[in-house]
Amino acid sequence: MTAFSLGPGQRAWCAELRTLAAERLRPLAEKGEPGRVNRALVAELGVLGLLPRLFTSGALDLCLMRESLAYACTEAETALALQGLGAHPVHAHGTPEQKERWLPRVGDGSAVAAFALSEPGAGSDAAALSLTAHPDGPGRWRLTGEKCWISNAPEADLYTVFARTTRGAGARGVTAFLVPADRPGLTGTGLDMLSPHPIGALGFDGVPVTSADVLGEVDGGFRVAMGTLNLFRPSVGAFAVGMAQAALDATLGHTARREAFGGRLSDLQSVSHQVAEMALRTEAARLMVYAAATAYDAGEGDVPKRAAMAKLLATETAQYVVDHAVQLHGARALQRGHLLEHLYREVRAPRIYEGASEVQRGIIAKELYKDVSENPEAER
């Protein structure tokens, strides 16, 4: 198996995931309330054994899960991804005690996790965090400040929180803390967003944390954050590819059946060529996502660049494909409840979260120029 060809077992697993998403997860998703954590859906992901795979599978398996679920039920995909994003720092950097307490509960869906990085004044510029961990004795701090646009907030049970422990140190002065939701001084409110999944703001009014809550090392939190994002950025691309494929398949069916201008829409060259372009871009994005995930699993050195490329191309592609799918469907696609109306709302956010498209371009350029500086022969 290469990054560009899935084996029969992988293809069968993807097909099984699509079926499970349609038959067991979508009914639960439809009973959920937009903007709220759907705990029944999260629990079912645990029953199906998908949440534990977040911590036992590689990046490519994560991408296959996200793409397959997104094709049939975006809510299930997002619930799965947010559990992984919030708890991966615990899995990768947690102490034995932290792992023992939280990972089984995240895996069975009884505890909801969240990744608390963004702030009102530090969204794309993660190194500019201002939430402060004030010293409160040896191995003790008090967290003061705000977090904003945090998925699963304020309903999560545990938060991976990134706070400044050393002033003036930029990225080198940030520490990751595991903060249970019941800590005194921690409050939150939900935000009414375009995306239907839960997003909120958090307030920290002297929230107590200790060295037992640190994930990784003190002042080493930026590495925890970037390591998590390097894993999840390609899979954001997989989420986008799943949505693009769903929109493409809906468009193929619609244009092949829809009669207009004395024939079918698919008979019009302008329509068939547009569908071909949508298919071309979707497949190109899929291949880049798989390649980035495979590079991550192989421990290759250019993962930040590959992850950024995959996330950028796939999310921009999905926006393009869904938009053109809506156009080819016409007014029916704008009706509440239509698949494309749902996808149109879902597809916009991934171009912003976990690093906006502009941030991804910056990462790519930085990595490219770093390659040049480290390899003078490349200039010749």
To 10 degrees, the CA torsion angle through 217, 231, 348, 50?
Answer: -110
What is the pLDDT of the chain when averaged over all its residues?
93
Tokens of 213: 């809550």
pLDDT in tens, 108-123: 999 999 999 999 887 6
Catalytic residue selected from 354, 367, 377, 379: 354
Tokens of 66: 């996200």
| Active-site residue, 146 included | no
Query: Which CATH topology does 113-218 take?
Result: Butyryl-CoA Dehydrogenase, subunit A; domain 2 (2.40.110)
pLDDT value, residue 1: 41
Give the distance, in angstroms, between the CA of residue 47 and the centroid of all CA atoms in the same chain.
22
pLDDT in tens, 229-245: 888 888 999 999 999 99
Question: What is the sign, positive or negative, of the torsion defined by CA atoms of 372, 377, 378, 380?
Answer: positive
On the question of pLDDT at 125 being above 80, the answer is: no
Domain edges within the chain:
8-108, 113-218, 223-379
- Higher-confidence residue: 257 or 122? 257
- Higher-confidence residue: 142 or 57? 142
CATH of domain 223-379: 1.20.140.10
pLDDT value, residue 124: 63
What global pTM score does this model have?
Answer: 0.91
Cis-peptide, bond into residue 154, ω within 30° of zero: yes
- Higher-confidence residue: 318 or 126? 318
pLDDT in tens, 361-376: 999 999 999 878 777 6
Tokens 């092949």 sit at which residue?
A: 256
Under the phi-then-psi rule, with left for phi > 0, alpha for psi from -120 to 50, and beta for the rest, what region is 122?
A: beta
Query: Which CATH topology does 8-108 take?
Result: Butyryl-Coa Dehydrogenase, subunit A; domain 1 (1.10.540)
Q: What is the DSSP string of 169-198?
A: -GGGGEEEEEEETTSTTEEEEE---SSSS-
Q: How many helices (H) and strands (E) does the chain have?
A: 12, 10
> β-strand 113-116 against 158-164: which pairing, if any?
parallel
Q: Which of 65, 36, 82 is nearest to 197 (CA)?
A: 36
Distance, in Å, from the CA atom of 156 to the CA atom of 61, rounded to the nearest integer, reads 25
